[in-house]
Amino acid sequence: MLDIKFMREYPDLVQEAMVKLNAPDAPVAEALALDRRRRELLQEVETLRAERKAVSKKIGHTKDPAQRQALIETTRSWGDQLAGLEEALRTVETQFREAMLRIPNLPDPKVPVGKDEHENVVVKTWGERRHFNFPIVPHWELGEELDIIDIRRGVKLSGSRFYVLKGLGARLQRALINWMLDVHIQEHGYVEILPPVLVRSAALVGTGNLPKFAENLYHDAEEDLWLIPTAEVPVTNLYREEILPPDSLPIYHVAYTPCFRREKAAAGKDTRGIKRVHQFDKVEMVKFVEPEQSDAELMRLLDNAEDIARRLQLPYRVVQMCTGDLSFTAAIKYDVELWAPGSEEWLEVSSVSNFKDFQARRANIRYRPAAGAPTRFVHTLNGSGLALPRVMIAILENYQEPDGSVIVPEVLRPYMGGIDSIC
């Protein structure tokens, strides 16, 4: 959520930002109009309330029954009048909040202006792409040959875009989860969280998934609970409606969770293999920091994500999103993409974002810089570290051998009981 005071003061800047974001339907003008109406009503309501309060107090002190009755008579009609105004105010406030929740975050000035993903900027490329002197096999074939990925039975169980990991495939994924968590905990300074994967609506509003993106989420209507699309949701909302005491920041959390996405809009796209599925595992890093630190923290977070790719010796690149491809909540965002030689494409395995105070305002996460000081909104950031099915794809395709086997990356071997090859 944007700061309404900033919007009032610089409406043109906000409108221009919406153009850059390619978000012409963002209800900025509507929110500003509702804000004006809201404040008008608020003043009327408060004036009337103050009067009523004063007279009611007087009634309490008046002993003479006749005088008392007279005062009650004069104020009797105020109740209805106030009720009408309060009703109007409530309506306007609800509409105002609805509008505010549908306005995206403002892009950081450092974000390149562009209209869609074609204008994203590759800011870094790391590692040598391996030269293969034999026919490269895509991961879905490798997975089937090695009997470690069973797409057919996944579909039988749950429908399209579901899959089953088996044997060393399951073990490789489990090794990746444990290893990645350990790297972030032991070497990057994160504290592990194992959160619920079902959350209330309020949590999703906090991170910006609701109200705008409900169609991407699985929802249990009976209990009104939602399956999380990413650990970002429960972990960021850990401190919802809290004021963090002095010296709490920065907070670094890392969480492994399954993630659930309906991917409704993408039917027919990326249907082969396990690149785009409804349920996948992910290790996610989330930071809560002081506003002055968030720029630097973003770069460290990005490096923490890259570090996983480097340690796995997987070639990757870092792409900076242009304004037109920025997510709803991010002020600035980088993707880490692994090279997948089998499908000959870069696979997004991490999305590293600084949300500044956008999520903190929605979720009302504040901190007190010092004892007695006024509260401030924290800055939140997150990044995958990393998303698993795609790391699995990259490992299988990059580490494949002519005989159809797959070498296990060195760092994972201690997590696989010393196994160095899947065959």
Q: Which residues are catalytic?
A: 261, 276, 348, 351, 390
262 lies in the binding site for RNA (CB under 7 A): no
Tell which positions 312-351 bind RNA, by CB under 7 A. none
CA-based radius of gyration for the chain = 27
Shortest distance, position 18 Cβ to RNA, whole Å: 22
Question: Which of 364, 368, 291, 363 is CA-nearest to residue 331?
Answer: 291
Applying CB under 7 A, among 11, 30, 78, 295 the residue interacting with RNA is 78
70 lies in the binding site for RNA (CB under 7 A): no
Nearer to RNA (CB atom), residue 185 or residue 225: 225
- For residues 369 to 398, the per-residue mask of contacts with RNA, x marking binding by CB under 7 A and - elsewhere, is --x--xx-----------------------
Nearer to RNA (CB atom), residue 94 or residue 271: 94
User: What is the residue type of 242?
Assistant: E
Applying CB under 7 A, among 13, 56, 420, 423 the residue interacting with RNA is 56
121 lies in the binding site for RNA (CB under 7 A): no
Cα-based distances in Å from 128 to 254, 304, 315, 402, 405: 29, 20, 6, 19, 21
Applying CB under 7 A, among 6, 29, 79, 187 the residue interacting with RNA is 79
307: its two tokens:
């570090």
Nearer to RNA (CB atom), residue 6 or residue 134: 6
Applying CB under 7 A, among 23, 33, 37, 52 the residue interacting with RNA is 52
Q: Are 366 and 377 in contact (CB under 8 A)?
A: yes
50 lies in the binding site for RNA (CB under 7 A): yes
Name the segment binding RNA (CB under 7 A); options: 18-26, 47-55, 250-258, 310-318. Answer: 47-55
81 lies in the binding site for RNA (CB under 7 A): no
246 lies in the binding site for RNA (CB under 7 A): no
Distance CA 276, CA 269 (A): 8
Name the segment binding RNA (CB under 7 A); options: 54-62, 247-255, 298-306, 313-321. Answer: 54-62
Nearer to RNA (CB atom), residue 377 or residue 399: 377
Provide the terminal-to-terminal Cα distance of the chain, rounded to the nearest Å.
51
Nearer to RNA (CB atom), residue 366 or residue 390: 366
Distance CA 235, CA 253 (A): 7
Shortest distance, position 30 Cβ to RNA, whole Å: 17
Tell which positions 129-148 bind RNA, by CB under 7 A. none
Applying CB under 7 A, among 278, 366, 379, 390 the residue interacting with RNA is 366
246: its two tokens:
């002095």
Applying CB under 7 A, among 76, 118, 131, 269 the residue interacting with RNA is 76
Shortest distance, position 366 Cβ to RNA, whole Å: 6
> What residues pair up with 366 in beta bridges, in sequence order?
243, 377
83 lies in the binding site for RNA (CB under 7 A): yes
> What residues pair up with 338 in beta bridges, in sequence order?
316, 347
Name the segment binding RNA (CB under 7 A); options: 68-76, 111-119, 168-176, 343-351. Answer: 68-76
Name the segment binding RNA (CB under 7 A); options: 26-34, 80-88, 158-166, 312-320. Answer: 80-88
170 lies in the binding site for RNA (CB under 7 A): no
Q: Say how many residues touch RNA, by CB under 7 A.
A: 35
> What residues pair up with 191 in beta bridges, in sequence order?
253
Applying CB under 7 A, among 37, 39, 130, 276 the residue interacting with RNA is 39
Question: Which of 310, 280, 283 is CA-nearest to residue 190?
Answer: 283
Please give the residue ranges that form the binding site for RNA (CB under 7 A): 4-5, 39, 42-43, 45-47, 49-50, 52-57, 59-61, 72, 75-76, 78-79, 82-83, 86-87, 90, 243, 366, 368, 371, 374-375
